[in-house]
Amino acid sequence: MARRVVPTGPVSVSLALVRGPKRTTEPLTMDWTQQSNGVRRQGIACETMFPRTGPQKTDHEFCSESQSFPGHDPMYCIPLNTYRISLARVGGKGLNLTKLTQAGFPVPGGFIITTDGYEAFVKSAGITGWMATEADRIDMSDPDAVAALSERIRARFRTGTMTQELAAQIRAAYDDLGRPKVAVRSSATAEDLPGMSFAGQQDTFLNVLGKDALLTAVIDCFSSLWSARAISYRARNGIEQSEVSLAVIVQEMVQSEASGVLFTANPVTGRRTESVIDATFGLGEALVGGQVEPDHYVVETGTGRVLEEHVGAKATIIRGLAEGGTETIQEGDQPTRALTDAQIDMLVDLGRRVATLYAFPQDIEWTFADGDLLLLQARPITTLFPLPRMAEADHLRVFVSLGTVQGVLDPFTPLGQEMLKGLFAGLCRVFGRQATIFDQPIVHIAGARPWIEATSALRNPLGRRMFLNAFPLLDPGIAEAVRALANDSRLPMGTMRLSSLARFAPVMSRILRSLLFALLQPEAALRQAQASVEDLVTVIEKQVHLAGTLQQRLTLFEWLGHQVLFPRAFLPLAPLIAAGYASLSVLGRLTARLEADNPDLPPRLYMELTKSLDNNVTTDMDLELWQTARRIREDAQACAEFEAASPEDLARDFHSRKLPDPVQQALTDFLDRYGMRGLAEIDFGRPRWREQPLPIIRALQSYLAIADANLMPDTVFQRGQLAAQEAEAYLAEAAAKRWRSPAAGSLVRWLVRRVRTLAGFRESPKFLFIRLMDMVRTALLDSGQELAAAGVIQRADDLFFLRLEELKVLAMCTDGDWKKLVASRRAAHAGEMHRKPIPRLLLSDGTAIYAGLVNPSEADDRTIVGSGVSSGTVEGTVHVVFDPNHAQLQPGEILVCPGTDPSWTPLFLAAGGLVMEVGGMMTHGSVVAREYGIPAGVGVDRATERLQTGQQVRVDGSSGHIQLLG
């Protein structure tokens, strides 16, 4: 048996690099001692993560952890000024009110009936657990079923009886308050959590007077946890019905002169520098309930300057009655402002202080009574997209969504974020800046998603020009948004520094030499690049084999990002791709000239030249998957079993090696070669097809349903090759005629040869990234298996929910509750999966820019406008897909999705057309659609909302128009 040699110092290997006509060799060295020394230098220890003194109380943990003592009744009611309480006992609203009260804000007095009181009531009513069980039995997508369920549950609450202990404590707390008129509000335990807005899901009861009325209101408030709105909201957001509870807040009512809401950031634009106020006369319930047109103010928070003002009608007023309860008065239009300038200033100042307390913008309910400003509640503005952590700057900063460009809009795992940072640290090192995962300045994280800071490029004259020329090809929506910022005084143009040019010069010189070599000898350049790729793969395989411990595998992880992915995997290959697309760009301009002179020329003919390109690893993968389907089809019985079984059963049988032999072998052969791919594969922590083959199985079942020989992928590919040849001949002839010279035709053919040879290589750097990352990922999973077997973590892939520094600690010491930390990260990641939509662009003032292409002159009720990226017209049935792992297209359907990465392309072979919300001419989905001859429109604003599965549409891939039929 071979013995693994564990390295203890630097290991050097030679790696051939593509530099021009000759291959040069440079050593690629990794020091295995680097990481452990780094950990010791940073002074990281187990105690840093998990202090040995035991669990620490959180800031809001109730000081009396025990809910009851021998001989004492449970504590059901606690005053608002109670110190240290927990979310689990008082819910989100209650927790916020106690924090605001303790901080000295003007909150009306009151008390909280804790979740213990709710649980005591449902127990006495004999319905503990019954509600969630009933909820599990119905179809949550059926509104009538949800409404009927809600009525059944609330009826049980109405017939329930409150325990004597609970009722006595509520009466006593009400006595201590002075028996005033009170407001009774809900406070759910899942309420006002990050990314969750439960406003309006439960009921509020105002101006309640007397003990009996209070007890009735409390029971009604308890039951509102099971309103149809609340049940549906929890189901949509993946919150278990059995995991929620409710506290009730009882607060003294005041005679409100004016009430409303204050947002400490603009909830429409996201701008953190603006406060937004809506105000009306009387109680604020008319405003919150949508019964009144309020006054509306947008105020510049820093200066108090009113930027927008609209005086609403305020025709409906709700006031409290002396005997309890409320009345609604129709006053007619009220031209008088509800607030004075001084009151607006008071509100803005209050909002600024509350937002500072929470370190996040807040949605505040407020009221003025007897001239005094009172704060009724505050919660985070959950609709705001979070901003990256950043240093203060005296100018605007601009962040571009990397996910939009890559077609990956999901959140990244923590270790996936670290790998991206390492990749861009490697980019910095190429240009002479010594950066690490922890201090690289390019990638920032917000909403668990990566954002590229483009500020420096946009403040540089050359950088801005390059950005505005390149991004229309990647995402026209981003390009339009940036173009609109060109005259923004907050983004002043800088100057080019000679030192910056000097830093770029050596690298650019190498790139230009390789670019020239690729243009002059495309086939030779391609062969050298392919050889360098295999050399690099061999090097990494050797290093992975040498890495035998978690500590060494983490060293390998850092080394891969800092010294391999960008410097060794991308930079040598990029000039070939640039040569291919530079040639295509010239052809595009030549074609535009020819189209201007000859209206009979087919539109955007140069697009045909990119159909069925050679040397595209993604196309090769999809065609090999088609061949896998053909292998399955050769065995009639195995094919019939495969088609009849559910994809889930087939995936389970594949892992247990129970599939029919021909199917098992065919699928194994494919995954041996391409199993490192997967959905959102640029996220290091996401599962691969090897682990979750469900999407591949679904794709194979779709392929087996293709009966028309003209739709079979290999036939489509061959047809694309012929179309490209015809387009080349057509353009060459047209150019020779237009310029009256055979040389013009020869130039066209010269350019086409480079496009056909090199443009398909576009997919190779990313494919190489995924191959290399997969080797390190597999090694880390081995460590994860060892830790899971030892009980340190639950599953091997838990490692991907820890950050690099945490993993370094874990490699040295396994003490601590790592399972709890991972569970919290998984929960946060699952919550972020529900966040929609995702901005294309973020500005440092909080502005979030979402929109794609919108051209009102071209759109109408039946036409949706995008950017045409793959010529042709097709009619078909819409199939909206958010997750390719759980989608199966019927041949000819129109695939409508937010965006795509290579893991989506197996669906393309069955699709008749493509519509995407993001992307441009050169993004992945567009390139592959052209290669397969699929008409495609991209950058279509809110396509997945405006189109619905089952609709009939016509997609014009030349214009980008999607027309609704029928």
Mean pLDDT of the chain: 88
Mapped to the 3 state alphabet, what secondary structure does 675-724 carry? CCCCCCCCCCCCCCCCCCCHHHHHHHHHHHCCCCHHHCHHHHHHHHHHHH
Residues marked active site are found at: 924
Spacing of C-alpha 334 from chain mean position: 44
pLDDT confidence bin for 359, thresholds 50/70/90? very high
Q: Is 13's pLDDT higher than 70?
A: no
798 is a domain residue: no
b/e string for 383-421 if b means 16 or more Cβ within 10 A? Answer: ebbbbbeeeeeeebbbbbbbbbbbbbbbbbbbbbbbbbb
Q: Is 446's pLDDT higher than 80?
A: yes
Q: Which of 904, 896, 858, 854 is nearest to 874 (CA)?
A: 896
301 is a domain residue: yes
CA torsion through residues 585, 590, 595, 601, sign:
negative
Element holding 61 (H helix, E strand): none
The answer to whether residues 205 and 295 belong to one domain is no
Spacing of C-alpha 883 from chain mean position: 13
The answer to whether residues 289 and 308 belong to one domain is yes
Burial (CB count <10 Å: 0-12, 13-18, 19+), residue 319: middle
Q: Which of 848, 861, 867 is nearest to 916 (CA)?
A: 867
- What DSSP letter does each residue of 401-461 carry, written as one string? EHHHHHT--SPPPHHHHHHHHHHHHHHHHHTT----TTT-SSEEEETTEEEEE-HHHHTSH
pLDDT digits (tens, 9 = 90+) for 241-287: 888 899 999 999 988 999 999 999 999 899 999 999 999 999 988 88
Burial (CB count <10 Å: 0-12, 13-18, 19+), residue 257: middle
Per-residue pLDDT, 941: 87
Query: How many domains does the chain fold into?
Result: 4
Q: Among residues 252, 270, 295, which one ends one of the domains?
A: 252
**β-pair partners for 645:** none
Per-residue pLDDT, 195: 46
Helices (H), 599-646: 617-634, 636-644
The position carrying tokens 């909403």 is 447
pLDDT confidence bin for 471, thresholds 50/70/90? confident
445 is a domain residue: yes
The answer to whether residues 360 and 457 belong to one domain is no
Instruction: Find the mean pLDDT for residues 354-383.
Output: 94
Q: Among residues 495, 517, 534, which one ends one of the domains?
A: 495
Instruction: Find the mean pLDDT for residues 773-780.
Output: 98
Q: Among 440-454, 595-609, 627-641, whose mean pLDDT is lowest?
A: 595-609
150 is a domain residue: yes
35 is a domain residue: no
pLDDT confidence bin for 55, thresholds 50/70/90? very low
- What DSSP letter does each residue of 825-843 carry, written as one string? HHHHHHHHHT-----SEEE
Per-residue pLDDT, 797: 98
Are 410 and 829 a contacting pair, CB within 8 Å?
A: no
The answer to whether residues 140 and 82 belong to one domain is yes
CA distance 624 to 618: 10
Per-residue pLDDT, 540: 96
Q: Which residues contact 507 (CB under 8 A, 6 or more apart)?
A: 430, 431, 571
Q: Among residues 348, 380, 412, which one ends one of the domains?
A: 380
What does DSSP say about strands 894-897 and 873-880: parallel, antiparallel, or unpaired?
parallel
Per-residue pLDDT, 27: 59
CA distance 920 to 852: 10
The CATH number assigned to the domain holding 334 equals 3.30.470.20
Q: Is 853's pLDDT higher than 60?
A: no
Q: Is 209's pLDDT higher than 80?
A: yes
Per-residue pLDDT, 65: 35
Are 299 and 348 a contacting pair, CB within 8 Å?
A: yes
Q: Among 100-109, 117-126, 280-289, whose mean pLDDT is lowest?
A: 280-289
CA distance 84 to 845: 34
Angle (CA) 891 892 897, round 5° = 100
Q: Is 843's pLDDT higher than 70?
A: yes
The answer to whether residues 405 and 296 belong to one domain is no
The answer to whether residues 213 and 287 belong to one domain is no
Helix (H, G, I), strand (E, B) or coil at 90: helix
- What DSSP letter does each residue of 580-602 carry, written as one string? HHHHHHHHHHHHHHHHHH-TTSP
Share of the chain above pLDDT 90, in %: 64
What are φ and ψ of residue 740, in 5° steps?
A: 50, 45
The reply to whether omega before 837 is within 30° of 0 (cis) is yes
- Indicate the length of the chain as a whole number: 966
Q: Which of 472, 491, 276 is nearest to 384 (CA)?
A: 276
The answer to whether residues 907 and 856 belong to one domain is yes
Q: Which of 277, 285, 255 is nearest to 343 (CA)?
A: 277
Instruction: Find the mean pLDDT for residues 683-688.
Output: 97
Query: Which residue range is the domain that position 423 belongs to?
Result: 398-495
Per-residue pLDDT, 495: 73
Are 202 and 184 a contacting pair, CB within 8 Å?
A: no
The answer to whether residues 407 and 455 belong to one domain is yes
CA distance 444 to 453: 7
The answer to whether residues 212 and 87 belong to one domain is yes
What does DSSP say about strands 10-18 and 961-964: parallel, antiparallel, or unpaired?
unpaired
Per-residue pLDDT, 819: 97
Q: Is 650's pLDDT higher than 50?
A: yes
Q: Is 52's pLDDT higher than 60?
A: no
Distances (CA, A) of 195 to 93, 357, 378, 883: 15, 19, 15, 21
Q: Is 9's pLDDT higher than 90?
A: no
CB atoms within 10 A of CB 666: 25
The answer to whether residues 244 and 97 belong to one domain is yes
273 is a domain residue: yes
Are 944 and 876 a contacting pair, CB within 8 Å?
A: no
The DSSP letter of residue 6 is: P
Q: Is 56's pLDDT higher than 70?
A: no
End-to-end CA, the chain: 69
Per-residue pLDDT, 42: 45
The answer to whether residues 182 and 85 belong to one domain is yes
788 is a domain residue: no
Q: Which of 311, 305, 365 is nearest to 338 (CA)?
A: 311
Per-residue pLDDT, 47: 55
Q: Which residues contact 136 (CB under 8 A, 6 or more apart)?
A: 241
720 is a domain residue: no
The answer to whether residues 93 and 213 belong to one domain is yes
Burial (CB count <10 Å: 0-12, 13-18, 19+), residue 336: exposed
